[in-house]
Structure 1
């Protein structure tokens, strides 16, 4: 059997869809790796535990290999399977649910045949029309390309769809994504009129087909603009202090009126550990907090969890540990309760959403979603905007009514 080390290629097997993805075993022992990592572009999503159970004595290695159990506690997911002569076979999913998908994996990085003939360039930003449940009329398709190799994503008002990677062959780019969540595939075909046909495939529901144009061409054609993350969500009264009052993971109540927030700039993050974009955002918020807390910044997460996770908060606690969260993390309820629990917010329907409070406790800016690294310049813009908002609010005088 091949050693559990180095880069492998994995495949998720659904009824009508296969999704390939890279993974890597790391550790000192070839038979007992310390970790398994999936990838979202250049970011690794690393397991919280790996256990290898040797096959029982008397069994043929060719028939039954060692059992391998890999925990991703911050995703409430587990990979469980068996080593084989070719590599690994098993199942991945949430052990609390019956939603596991079959996984096979083989050693070696994915390889593809060299492209035959010229490879069209699709690098850049494209826009295509949609009618989303959040009121959006357009999404962006963002591609980064090196020869026949492409990394791309779809950017919505609540964030990007993760880094889809692949290559060009037979007239189209086939791009796949799996980082422990949101598996999917994009088939992208350049058209002679300068547009792209994008077919988005996921395990659930029918494939969705879009026609995208480069951003300048889309505007020239009068296509709708993507939703503005700075205005999509607002508050009913900008002069009213933003109120929160929820328990933290220990059960202690934390409110906006607590002394630790008096006269501080506060970033209030509406989040959930079930949300892939929230996993993308958490490391950034942790670094933002560490950068500015000595100057008077506080960060508060208002976490809305699925009912089954509220029973023991195991995923939430693992999430906090994995992303080195040392700001207040409050348990606000279930996702369906977000409107009733935060009645000051208007059109709050994205995960995540972030409210920036001035020293007086009022909302001075809102940003919806989180554009991660796969979105390229949009991620860079987001980072610069968040820091500029925080720095601007920190420059305001500490004195005066706090409003809390």
Structure 2
């Protein structure tokens, strides 16, 4: 009896220990990533300030240490959402924007014997590949159209809801409002370019964007800590990070990183009247031209031509774009919505894509992915490489091409009415005004 009692006691103790050590596995009802908030981090190169080409220290570059954050880390937030016990999607969160990602695969990596997740952003031909164990992911963000070596280390942490920091230092000032910005201040005047920042601050929380003459930097989110400013955005295509110091006169001095391939310095002064050049004034037709003429191949094997009988007596919008470009995606969705809301209009849209892939087959594949996911409702042809000089050569009647996207509007007589450079999308205040003006203008051409 004593031996039997001891055996029963041992079994009960073993069962109790098993339940304690195995409780995480038993209670986890999800097939892969834990649901809820995650904090992602892209680990950029640690040197965030562009060296002075002349080799001399510039006063503007001093005191740009950002002690509240880890040097070189670009943070972003996302959420894992389950639709049932096995199926889930991810939402990237940048300010007011929640960008849904459904193209996700999971499996066992034989080389590491660990669970691996691949988060695909097919429109932008990029992906995150990471191993995951319980509440942590570790891997890389890979951008195919920038070459095999464009990889940035990535880490993800479940249950972390903050972006830059959990600190709550009292902000030196309220940054809400409009700012006149100059990028490239470390270089000569030829390297500088203007922008307008629109910021909204609520305590330590900061959101907003930067508008330039070629487009906006989309939905940015971050924090103000004492005299330091932080903003970031990650949407699968671009990784933007802004850091700045609030100076004694209230102006801002900061650094800007776009992924690991671009960095520059910028300054900003609050200015409620800050403006940019008229986007309809930046590109025009050369003397002696009144319209466009082109013929480019499509992914289906056809040739897209203008002029052509199908466009006679119609208003035509020619969109110069790149499938790799978020501003182009914003404009594509804008044009798609217009076509859906005006199905009877005598209006045609033509997309001319300038792609990062030199291989025509890869470029065509990028266009097909773009069309499959966005379903824009109009044809897109491959016009050349993603180079502004190449675009100008492909359309020699244009004075120049300075941005993707560029929208060329042609009237029913086949004449160019206006050329709109860049696209400030839904992250900006300019978007609402542009939509109203565009609707009015197109309606006048359709009469």
Q: TM-score, normalised by structure 2?
A: 0.78
CA distance in 1, matches of 2:155, 2:359: 28
Cα 1:352/1:393, change in 2 over 3 Å: same
Equivalent of 2:80 in 25, 30, 33: 25
Q: 1:316-350: per-residue Cα shift (whole Å, max 9, x none)?
A: 11111222211121111212321111111112121
Cα contact 2:291–2:414 (8 A) shared by 1? yes
Residue in 2 that maps onto 1:399: none
Choose 1 or 2 for highest CA Rg: 2
Equivalent of 1:181 in 237, 259, 272: 237
Q: 1:178-228: per-residue Cα shift (whole Å, max 9, x none)?
A: 11122121123333323222322344467533221222577xxxxxx6332
Residue in 1 that maps onto 2:361: 311
Residue in 2 that maps onto 1:128: 181
CA distance in 1, matches of 2:254, 2:132: 37
Deviation at residue 134 of structure 1 after TM alignment? 8.4
Cα contact 1:45–1:180 (8 A) shared by 2? no
CA distance in 1, matches of 2:403, 2:250: 32
1:14 correspondence with 2:44: yes
1:42 correspondence with 2:93: no
Deviation at residue 293 of structure 1 after TM alignment? 3.8
CA distance in 1, matches of 2:37, 2:251: 35
Mean CA deviation greater in 137-146 or 343-352: 137-146
Count residues with an aligned counterpart: 382
Cα 1:177/1:316, change in 2 over 3 Å: same
Residue in 2 that maps onto 1:85: 134
Cα 1:247/1:51, change in 2 over 3 Å: same
Cα 1:4/1:308, change in 2 over 3 Å: farther
Deviation at residue 309 of structure 1 after TM alignment? 5.7
Cα contact 2:171–2:224 (8 A) shared by 1? no
Cα contact 1:5–1:26 (8 A) shared by 2? yes
Residue in 1 that maps onto 2:440: 388
Indicate the SS of the match to 2:344.
Answer: helix
Q: TM-score, normalised by structure 1?
A: 0.85
Residue in 2 that maps onto 1:398: none
CA distance in 2, matches of 1:174, 1:303: 34
Residue in 1 that maps onto 2:213: 157
1:248 correspondence with 2:298: yes
Deviation at residue 315 of structure 1 after TM alignment? 2.1
Deviation at residue 11 of structure 1 after TM alignment? 0.4
Mean CA deviation greater in 326-335 or 197-206: 197-206
Structure 2: gaps of 5 or more residues: 1-23, 47-71
Structure 1: gaps of 5 or more residues: 219-224, 396-404
Equivalent of 2:249 in 193, 208, 211: 193
Indicate the SS of the match to 2:376.
Answer: coil
CA distance in 2, matches of 1:134, 1:327: 38
Residue in 2 that maps onto 1:279: 329
CA distance in 1, matches of 2:336, 2:440: 17
CA distance in 2, matches of 1:70, 1:247: 31
CA distance in 2, matches of 1:298, 1:136: 37
Give me the CA root mean square deviation. 2.8
Residue in 1 that maps onto 2:403: 350
Deviation at residue 133 of structure 1 after TM alignment? 9.4
CA distance in 1, matches of 2:262, 2:395: 34
CA distance in 1, matches of 2:251, 2:45: 31
Equivalent of 1:338 in 368, 382, 391: 391
CA distance in 1, matches of 2:140, 2:170: 39
Residue in 1 that maps onto 2:267: 211
Deviation at residue 109 of structure 1 after TM alignment? 4.8
1:66 correspondence with 2:66: no
Deviation at residue 353 of structure 1 after TM alignment? 0.4
CA distance in 2, matches of 1:149, 1:81: 30
Cα contact 2:171–2:225 (8 A) shared by 1? no
Cα 1:35/1:87, change in 2 over 3 Å: same
Cα 1:378/1:309, change in 2 over 3 Å: farther
Cα 1:272/1:118, change in 2 over 3 Å: closer
Deviation at residue 114 of structure 1 after TM alignment? 6.0
CA distance in 2, matches of 1:87, 1:286: 39
